[in-house]
């Protein structure tokens, strides 16, 4: 898939663990892990909004298109 999820990059920049993000966003660890590894087929805008608020970033910081 040409959409790359850079969640691990943003977590490293913010010095935050996946566990902490899970707790602060209210999403299960398994769902965040699926998203982080790029195995997710979709992401709800509400979820993306919550992640961006916690990580203080833009959606383009997390999602990237590559051919």
Domain of 57, in residue numbers: 3-65
Q: Which tokens go with 39?
A: 């195995």
Nearest alpha-carbon partner for 35 in 20, 49, 27: 27
CB neighbourhood size of 21 (10 A): 21
- CATH number of the domain encompassing residue 12: 1.10.260.40
CB 62 within 8 A of CB 48: yes
**What is the spatial distance between Cα 11 and Cα 21, in angstroms, rounded to a whole number?**
8
How large a percentage of the chain has pLDDT more than 70? 99
What is the predicted pLDDT for the residue at 1? 62
Task: Indicate if the pLDDT at residue 54 is higher than 70.
Answer: yes
Q: What is the mean pLDDT of residues 7-32?
A: 95
pLDDT, one tens digit per residue, over 25-44 is: 999 999 999 999 989 999 99
Total count of domains within the chain: 1
Q: pTM here?
A: 0.90
């Amino acid at each position: 898939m040409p959409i790359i999820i850079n969640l691990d990059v943003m977590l490293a920049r913010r010095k935050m663990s996946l566990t902490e993000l899970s707790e602060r966003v209210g999403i299960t660890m398994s769902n965040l892990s699926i998203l982080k590894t790029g195995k997710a087929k979709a992401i709800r805008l509400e979820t993306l909004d919550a992640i961006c608020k916690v990580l203080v970033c833009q959606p383009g910081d997390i999602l990237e298109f590559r051919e």
